[in-house]
Structures are given as structure tokens and as C-alpha cells.
Structure 1
Amino acid sequence: MGFVLRLLVSALALYLLTRVYGGVSFAPGADVLSVVIAALVMGIVNALVRPVLLLLSLPVNILTLGLFTLVVNGVVLWLVAAATALNVNGFGAAIVGAVVLAVISWVLDALVSALGLERRQ
């Protein structure tokens, strides 16, 4: 999938998350550019910070049979909220929001694949 398409899908997933789940919202007056910037920051944090967090939490992750990854995803969402116009109503809301965001992203990725919008390489 091209970078721009992936960015737009992520931005749409973040926007849909704020519409579906009340624990995560955008600041009043946030526009489309704020949503795209939040999606871009989410991609950067997922690429740079998340692997480090997963490596540092590996013993706990093994003990919990991978369920601690949900907490790491919540931390990532919380970090994105700290750097952008995204608002999260507490750490529990970040964890639930990360789970809902994963489901929404999965559905949107499947839709993009079904429509044939991704490039084959």
C-alpha cells in the first residue's frame, strides 16, 4: 500500500475511533489537517517507539502470553495524544481506544484490499 493511502487509512481510522468511542476525541476545532498529523505521528511512534517498548516489556509480555501488548498499544496511543490534538480520557481509555483502533484499522485495511486499491509488487 502506498504511503499516502496508508496515511489516509490511518487518519480515517483515528477519526472513526473518535466517533465510535467516547474515551478518545479530538480537541474542539480540530480540522482534517490535525487528524492527518495525528495519523502521521502515530506512524512515526509505531515505527520508532513501539519496538523499543515491546523489547523492554518482553519478559512481562511472555508472562502474560502477549496480553501486555495491549498495554503497550495504549501507551503508544497516549504518546500520540500527548503530541497532537488527540485527547484521551485516562490510561484505561487509551488501552480500550487502542483495541478499538486496531479493529477499525483491520476492517479498513480489508476494505482497501477488497477494493483492489493497494499496489501489487
Structure 2
Amino acid sequence: MATTSLSVFMLVKTTQEWLGFSVEHRFELMRTQMEPILQKHAAQVSMRFFDIEFYSARVTDLWLWETDSHHAYELLVEDLRETPFWDRYFTIVEILPGVENAYAKNYDQAPLLSA
């Protein structure tokens, strides 16, 4: 049975505490607290970071996690929850897991072409 890729869209909002830090300090916190977690799980989980604050007041950023293993994603979240990035520097607004093109795979059909 083929592994189905999992994409998790994590909608987050920066907190006033995070915004109160200088830009240099924010990057230092990301390098020292978040990057080690990303490196630890890099073999199984990747992250993409999208800025949304230009277009939404509800969320400021979208963290896209991609993996072939639900368990690997769960372990990453467990590590992330042990840092201030989880509900201190960022409020986790919503977590939306999805499987790309499942509508086609489930019916053994080719997915629609995308540009």
C-alpha cells in the first residue's frame, strides 16, 4: 500500500509578546528554539512558512507541515509544544490536516491539471 502524503496547515497568530521583541531577537529565538526541532525532524517532516498578516486579521502566518508519517508529525508537535512558540509567542488558531488530491486517488482517477 502506498504512503499518502499528509499536509498540515497550521494557522497561527503572533502575540504581543513576540511583536515586542526586536527583529534580531526574534530571529535568534527562531534559530535557538525552533530550528533545532526542525532539524531533529527534517528527515521526515518539512515546514514552509507563509506570511498572511497583509491579508488577514484572524491569523498572521501559516505554517505548512509536510510528511509521509502522521506519527512523525505528532512527535514534532510534541516537541514544539514544549517551547514558547506554542501558544505563547504564537497562538495556534487552527490546524487543518489534508491529503493532496485524495479526491482523485480515492476513486483511482487522475487529478485535475493545475497551472
TM-score by length of 2: 0.33
User: Which structure has the larger Rg over C-alpha atoms?
Assistant: 2
TM-score by length of 1: 0.32
Q: Which structure shows the higher helix fraction? A: 1
Task: Name which structure has the greater RCO, CA cutoff 8 Å, separation 6+.
Answer: 2
